[in-house]
Structure 1
Amino acid sequence: MGLIGGLIVGGLAAAGGLGLDVSLFAGATFAVPLGIAGAGYELLVARGRLPLSVLTPMALYWAVAFPVVRVLHAAVLALYAGEDAAVPYGWLDFIVYQIVLSLGFAIGYWWLHENFAPRWWFHLRNRNPVANFFIRHQLEYAGLAERERERKRSGAASKTGRSG
Protein backbone atom coordinates (compact mmCIF):
# COMPACT_ATOMS: atom_id res chain seq x y z
CA MET A 1 0.00 0.00 0.00
CA GLY A 2 2.81 2.38 0.79
CA LEU A 3 4.37 2.07 -2.66
CA ILE A 4 1.05 2.47 -4.44
CA GLY A 5 0.12 5.42 -2.23
CA GLY A 6 3.48 7.05 -2.88
CA LEU A 7 3.10 6.65 -6.64
CA ILE A 8 -0.37 8.18 -6.51
CA VAL A 9 0.75 11.12 -4.36
CA GLY A 10 3.79 11.77 -6.55
CA GLY A 11 1.70 11.52 -9.72
CA LEU A 12 -0.98 13.86 -8.40
CA ALA A 13 1.65 16.34 -7.24
CA ALA A 14 3.19 16.35 -10.72
CA ALA A 15 -0.24 16.64 -12.37
CA GLY A 16 -1.00 19.54 -10.03
CA GLY A 17 1.95 21.48 -11.41
CA LEU A 18 4.57 20.90 -8.74
CA GLY A 19 8.13 20.41 -9.89
CA LEU A 20 9.62 16.98 -10.48
CA ASP A 21 11.79 17.21 -7.36
CA VAL A 22 8.83 18.15 -5.15
CA SER A 23 6.65 15.43 -6.72
CA LEU A 24 9.28 12.74 -6.13
CA PHE A 25 9.87 13.99 -2.61
CA ALA A 26 6.12 14.04 -1.90
CA GLY A 27 5.71 10.48 -3.17
CA ALA A 28 8.66 9.12 -1.22
CA THR A 29 7.79 10.88 2.03
CA PHE A 30 4.24 9.51 1.82
CA ALA A 31 5.18 5.96 0.77
CA VAL A 32 7.58 5.27 3.64
CA PRO A 33 5.38 6.20 6.64
CA LEU A 34 2.30 4.65 5.00
CA GLY A 35 4.24 1.43 4.44
CA ILE A 36 5.41 1.44 8.06
CA ALA A 37 1.83 2.00 9.29
CA GLY A 38 0.59 -0.83 7.07
CA ALA A 39 3.29 -3.14 8.37
CA GLY A 40 2.30 -2.17 11.92
CA TYR A 41 -1.29 -3.19 11.22
CA GLU A 42 -0.19 -6.51 9.72
CA LEU A 43 1.99 -7.22 12.76
CA LEU A 44 -0.94 -6.55 15.10
CA VAL A 45 -3.07 -8.99 13.10
CA ALA A 46 -0.28 -11.57 12.94
CA ARG A 47 0.23 -11.42 16.71
CA GLY A 48 -3.50 -11.79 17.35
CA ARG A 49 -3.94 -8.27 18.76
CA LEU A 50 -6.47 -7.40 16.05
CA PRO A 51 -8.93 -9.86 14.47
CA LEU A 52 -8.62 -10.92 10.85
CA SER A 53 -11.27 -9.79 8.34
CA VAL A 54 -13.09 -7.33 10.62
CA LEU A 55 -13.59 -3.77 9.36
CA THR A 56 -14.15 -1.93 12.67
CA PRO A 57 -10.70 -2.56 14.24
CA MET A 58 -9.09 -1.77 10.89
CA ALA A 59 -11.06 1.48 10.62
CA LEU A 60 -10.10 2.45 14.18
CA TYR A 61 -6.43 1.68 13.50
CA TRP A 62 -6.41 3.78 10.33
CA ALA A 63 -8.45 6.58 11.99
CA VAL A 64 -5.32 7.15 14.06
CA ALA A 65 -2.54 5.98 11.74
CA PHE A 66 -3.64 7.67 8.50
CA PRO A 67 -3.85 11.21 9.93
CA VAL A 68 -0.50 10.69 11.67
CA VAL A 69 1.06 9.55 8.38
CA ARG A 70 -0.43 12.52 6.54
CA VAL A 71 0.63 15.06 9.18
CA LEU A 72 4.20 13.70 9.14
CA HIS A 73 4.15 13.73 5.35
CA ALA A 74 2.81 17.29 5.20
CA ALA A 75 5.24 18.56 7.84
CA VAL A 76 8.26 17.17 6.01
CA LEU A 77 6.90 18.37 2.67
CA ALA A 78 6.28 21.83 4.16
CA LEU A 79 9.93 22.00 5.25
CA TYR A 80 11.04 21.03 1.74
CA ALA A 81 8.57 22.87 -0.48
CA GLY A 82 6.86 25.39 1.79
CA GLU A 83 3.52 25.34 3.60
CA ASP A 84 1.61 26.54 0.55
CA ALA A 85 2.39 23.25 -1.21
CA ALA A 86 1.77 21.03 1.82
CA VAL A 87 -1.22 22.57 3.63
CA PRO A 88 -2.70 25.43 1.60
CA TYR A 89 -5.75 25.89 3.89
CA GLY A 90 -4.05 25.61 7.28
CA TRP A 91 -3.19 22.82 9.67
CA LEU A 92 -6.50 22.49 11.54
CA ASP A 93 -8.56 22.04 8.36
CA PHE A 94 -5.92 19.66 7.06
CA ILE A 95 -5.97 17.41 10.15
CA VAL A 96 -9.77 17.27 10.33
CA TYR A 97 -9.94 16.40 6.63
CA GLN A 98 -7.39 13.61 7.10
CA ILE A 99 -9.47 12.08 9.89
CA VAL A 100 -12.50 12.09 7.56
CA LEU A 101 -10.44 10.53 4.75
CA SER A 102 -9.13 7.81 7.04
CA LEU A 103 -12.43 5.90 6.95
CA GLY A 104 -12.37 5.74 3.16
CA PHE A 105 -8.76 4.64 3.27
CA ALA A 106 -9.62 1.95 5.85
CA ILE A 107 -12.43 0.61 3.66
CA GLY A 108 -10.09 0.45 0.66
CA TYR A 109 -7.38 -1.20 2.74
CA TRP A 110 -9.91 -3.73 4.06
CA TRP A 111 -11.15 -4.49 0.54
CA LEU A 112 -7.61 -5.07 -0.74
CA HIS A 113 -6.82 -7.10 2.36
CA GLU A 114 -9.86 -9.34 1.79
CA ASN A 115 -9.46 -9.75 -1.97
CA PHE A 116 -5.74 -9.81 -2.71
CA ALA A 117 -3.91 -10.73 0.49
CA PRO A 118 -5.31 -14.30 0.62
CA ARG A 119 -3.78 -15.05 -2.78
CA TRP A 120 -0.39 -14.01 -1.44
CA TRP A 121 -0.89 -15.89 1.84
CA PHE A 122 -1.78 -19.04 -0.10
CA HIS A 123 1.64 -19.00 -1.77
CA LEU A 124 3.40 -18.40 1.56
CA ARG A 125 1.41 -20.88 3.66
CA ASN A 126 3.99 -23.70 3.63
CA ARG A 127 6.86 -21.55 4.90
CA ASN A 128 5.05 -18.89 6.93
CA PRO A 129 3.02 -19.96 9.98
CA VAL A 130 1.06 -16.69 10.06
CA ALA A 131 0.02 -17.06 6.41
CA ASN A 132 -0.88 -20.69 7.10
CA PHE A 133 -3.09 -19.57 10.00
CA PHE A 134 -4.83 -16.99 7.80
CA ILE A 135 -5.47 -19.52 5.02
CA ARG A 136 -6.77 -22.15 7.46
CA HIS A 137 -9.04 -19.52 9.04
CA GLN A 138 -10.51 -18.57 5.67
CA LEU A 139 -10.92 -22.19 4.55
CA GLU A 140 -12.73 -23.03 7.80
CA TYR A 141 -15.08 -20.11 7.23
CA ALA A 142 -15.68 -21.15 3.62
CA GLY A 143 -16.52 -24.68 4.79
CA LEU A 144 -18.97 -23.38 7.40
CA ALA A 145 -20.62 -21.08 4.85
CA GLU A 146 -20.96 -23.93 2.35
CA ARG A 147 -22.54 -26.23 4.96
CA GLU A 148 -24.98 -23.46 5.91
CA ARG A 149 -25.97 -22.98 2.25
CA GLU A 150 -26.49 -26.73 1.87
CA ARG A 151 -28.60 -26.82 5.03
CA LYS A 152 -30.80 -24.01 3.73
CA ARG A 153 -31.13 -25.67 0.30
CA SER A 154 -32.09 -29.01 1.80
CA GLY A 155 -34.56 -27.31 4.16
CA ALA A 156 -36.15 -25.40 1.28
CA ALA A 157 -36.28 -28.54 -0.88
CA SER A 158 -38.00 -30.56 1.85
CA LYS A 159 -40.60 -27.81 2.37
CA THR A 160 -41.45 -27.67 -1.35
CA GLY A 161 -41.55 -31.47 -1.55
CA ARG A 162 -44.21 -31.76 1.20
CA SER A 163 -46.57 -29.16 -0.20
CA GLY A 164 -46.65 -30.54 -3.79
Structure 2
Amino acid sequence: MNPALRYIQGYPEHITTPVTKLVDSGRLKAWFENRYPENHTIKSEKALFEYTMAIKNRYMKKTAPLSKVVYDSKIHLINNALGLHTYVAKVHGGKIKSKNEIRIASVFRTAPEPLLRMLVVHELAHLKEKEHNKSFYQLCCHMEPEYHQLELDARLFMIYLETAKQNEPK
Protein backbone atom coordinates (compact mmCIF):
# COMPACT_ATOMS: atom_id res chain seq x y z
CA MET A 1 0.00 0.00 0.00
CA ASN A 2 1.18 3.50 -0.83
CA PRO A 3 2.24 5.14 2.48
CA ALA A 4 0.43 8.36 1.50
CA LEU A 5 -2.88 6.47 1.73
CA ARG A 6 -2.55 6.37 5.53
CA TYR A 7 -4.47 9.67 5.58
CA ILE A 8 -7.67 7.86 4.56
CA GLN A 9 -7.12 4.81 6.75
CA GLY A 10 -10.37 4.04 8.55
CA TYR A 11 -12.60 5.39 5.79
CA PRO A 12 -15.04 2.91 4.21
CA GLU A 13 -14.07 0.96 1.10
CA HIS A 14 -16.43 2.91 -1.16
CA ILE A 15 -14.21 5.94 -0.48
CA THR A 16 -10.76 4.34 -0.26
CA THR A 17 -11.06 2.28 -3.46
CA PRO A 18 -11.60 5.23 -5.85
CA VAL A 19 -8.88 7.24 -4.09
CA THR A 20 -6.46 4.32 -4.37
CA LYS A 21 -7.25 4.06 -8.09
CA LEU A 22 -6.66 7.81 -8.56
CA VAL A 23 -3.30 7.59 -6.78
CA ASP A 24 -2.17 4.39 -8.53
CA SER A 25 -3.08 5.75 -11.97
CA GLY A 26 -1.32 9.06 -11.32
CA ARG A 27 -4.56 11.02 -11.81
CA LEU A 28 -4.95 12.41 -8.26
CA LYS A 29 -2.95 15.56 -9.08
CA ALA A 30 -5.17 16.45 -12.05
CA TRP A 31 -8.36 15.58 -10.13
CA PHE A 32 -7.34 17.68 -7.12
CA GLU A 33 -6.22 20.69 -9.18
CA ASN A 34 -9.46 20.56 -11.17
CA ARG A 35 -11.51 20.48 -7.95
CA TYR A 36 -9.44 23.21 -6.26
CA PRO A 37 -7.82 25.36 -8.96
CA GLU A 38 -6.75 28.16 -6.59
CA ASN A 39 -5.01 28.39 -3.24
CA HIS A 40 -5.89 30.96 -0.60
CA THR A 41 -3.96 34.19 -0.09
CA ILE A 42 -3.88 34.09 3.73
CA LYS A 43 -0.12 33.82 4.09
CA SER A 44 0.75 35.90 7.17
CA GLU A 45 -0.16 34.97 10.70
CA LYS A 46 -1.87 38.33 11.13
CA ALA A 47 -4.11 37.53 8.15
CA LEU A 48 -4.74 34.03 9.55
CA PHE A 49 -5.73 35.51 12.93
CA GLU A 50 -8.12 37.99 11.27
CA TYR A 51 -9.60 35.24 9.08
CA THR A 52 -10.16 33.02 12.14
CA MET A 53 -11.64 35.85 14.19
CA ALA A 54 -14.13 36.68 11.42
CA ILE A 55 -15.42 33.09 11.52
CA LYS A 56 -15.40 33.06 15.33
CA ASN A 57 -17.29 36.36 15.54
CA ARG A 58 -19.90 35.14 13.08
CA TYR A 59 -20.66 31.82 14.77
CA MET A 60 -19.15 31.78 18.26
CA LYS A 61 -19.24 35.29 19.73
CA LYS A 62 -19.77 34.13 23.30
CA THR A 63 -16.88 31.66 23.48
CA ALA A 64 -13.55 32.30 25.15
CA PRO A 65 -11.24 34.77 23.40
CA LEU A 66 -8.37 33.64 21.21
CA SER A 67 -4.92 34.96 21.96
CA LYS A 68 -3.05 33.47 19.01
CA VAL A 69 -3.63 31.79 15.65
CA VAL A 70 -0.48 30.70 13.83
CA TYR A 71 0.88 28.44 11.15
CA ASP A 72 3.07 25.82 12.78
CA SER A 73 5.66 23.81 10.86
CA LYS A 74 6.08 21.26 13.67
CA ILE A 75 2.60 19.98 14.45
CA HIS A 76 2.26 17.65 11.47
CA LEU A 77 5.60 16.08 12.33
CA ILE A 78 4.86 15.75 16.04
CA ASN A 79 1.48 14.07 16.15
CA ASN A 80 0.21 13.67 12.60
CA ALA A 81 -2.27 16.47 13.18
CA LEU A 82 -3.38 19.15 10.77
CA GLY A 83 -4.30 21.66 13.46
CA LEU A 84 -4.19 22.02 17.23
CA HIS A 85 -6.16 23.94 19.79
CA THR A 86 -4.38 24.59 23.07
CA TYR A 87 -5.73 26.02 26.29
CA VAL A 88 -3.26 27.28 28.86
CA ALA A 89 -4.29 28.48 32.32
CA LYS A 90 -1.71 30.21 34.53
CA VAL A 91 -2.00 31.67 38.01
CA HIS A 92 -0.75 35.23 37.93
CA GLY A 93 -0.92 37.23 41.14
CA GLY A 94 -3.84 35.28 42.58
CA LYS A 95 -5.80 35.42 39.32
CA ILE A 96 -6.11 32.74 36.70
CA LYS A 97 -5.22 33.93 33.22
CA SER A 98 -6.20 31.66 30.36
CA LYS A 99 -5.13 31.67 26.76
CA ASN A 100 -6.63 29.82 23.81
CA GLU A 101 -4.36 29.27 20.85
CA ILE A 102 -4.92 27.67 17.46
CA ARG A 103 -2.09 26.23 15.41
CA ILE A 104 -2.59 25.23 11.78
CA ALA A 105 -0.10 22.95 10.02
CA SER A 106 2.09 25.13 7.83
CA VAL A 107 1.41 22.96 4.76
CA PHE A 108 -2.02 24.64 4.75
CA ARG A 109 -0.36 28.02 4.07
CA THR A 110 -0.56 26.97 0.41
CA ALA A 111 -3.86 25.09 0.47
CA PRO A 112 -7.19 25.87 -1.16
CA GLU A 113 -9.25 28.24 1.01
CA PRO A 114 -12.09 25.77 1.73
CA LEU A 115 -9.59 23.36 3.31
CA LEU A 116 -8.10 26.09 5.49
CA ARG A 117 -11.63 27.13 6.52
CA MET A 118 -12.45 23.53 7.49
CA LEU A 119 -9.37 23.36 9.73
CA VAL A 120 -10.13 26.72 11.34
CA VAL A 121 -13.75 25.66 11.94
CA HIS A 122 -12.53 22.38 13.47
CA GLU A 123 -10.18 24.12 15.87
CA LEU A 124 -12.74 26.81 16.76
CA ALA A 125 -15.26 24.09 17.61
CA HIS A 126 -12.80 22.88 20.26
CA LEU A 127 -13.34 26.17 22.14
CA LYS A 128 -16.80 24.84 22.99
CA GLU A 129 -16.50 21.06 22.63
CA LYS A 130 -13.22 19.48 23.72
CA GLU A 131 -14.00 15.96 22.45
CA HIS A 132 -14.78 14.77 18.93
CA ASN A 133 -18.37 13.88 19.77
CA LYS A 134 -21.75 14.39 18.11
CA SER A 135 -22.06 17.96 19.47
CA PHE A 136 -18.60 18.80 18.16
CA TYR A 137 -19.41 17.68 14.61
CA GLN A 138 -22.82 19.38 14.71
CA LEU A 139 -21.06 22.64 15.58
CA CYS A 140 -18.53 22.11 12.76
CA CYS A 141 -21.38 21.51 10.29
CA HIS A 142 -23.22 24.59 11.59
CA MET A 143 -20.19 26.75 10.78
CA GLU A 144 -19.31 24.88 7.57
CA PRO A 145 -22.13 22.82 5.99
CA GLU A 146 -19.63 20.97 3.75
CA TYR A 147 -17.44 20.11 6.75
CA HIS A 148 -17.31 16.32 6.26
CA GLN A 149 -16.49 16.54 2.54
CA LEU A 150 -13.84 19.17 3.22
CA GLU A 151 -12.32 17.00 5.96
CA LEU A 152 -11.94 14.17 3.44
CA ASP A 153 -10.59 16.61 0.85
CA ALA A 154 -8.00 17.87 3.37
CA ARG A 155 -6.80 14.28 3.69
CA LEU A 156 -6.70 14.03 -0.11
CA PHE A 157 -4.66 17.25 -0.10
CA MET A 158 -2.10 15.56 2.15
CA ILE A 159 -1.96 12.57 -0.24
CA TYR A 160 -1.66 15.01 -3.16
CA LEU A 161 1.32 16.72 -1.49
CA GLU A 162 3.05 13.44 -0.64
CA THR A 163 2.58 11.89 -4.07
CA ALA A 164 3.83 15.11 -5.72
CA LYS A 165 6.91 14.95 -3.49
CA GLN A 166 7.45 11.26 -4.37
CA ASN A 167 7.24 12.07 -8.09
CA GLU A 168 9.80 14.90 -7.97
CA PRO A 169 13.06 14.20 -9.81
CA LYS A 170 15.81 13.28 -7.38
TM over 0.5, shorter chain: no
Structure having the larger proportion of residues in strand: 2
Structure having the larger proportion of residues in helix: 1
Q: Which bracket does the TM-score occupy, shorter chain normalised?
A: under 0.3
TM-score by length of 2: 0.27
TM-score by length of 1: 0.27
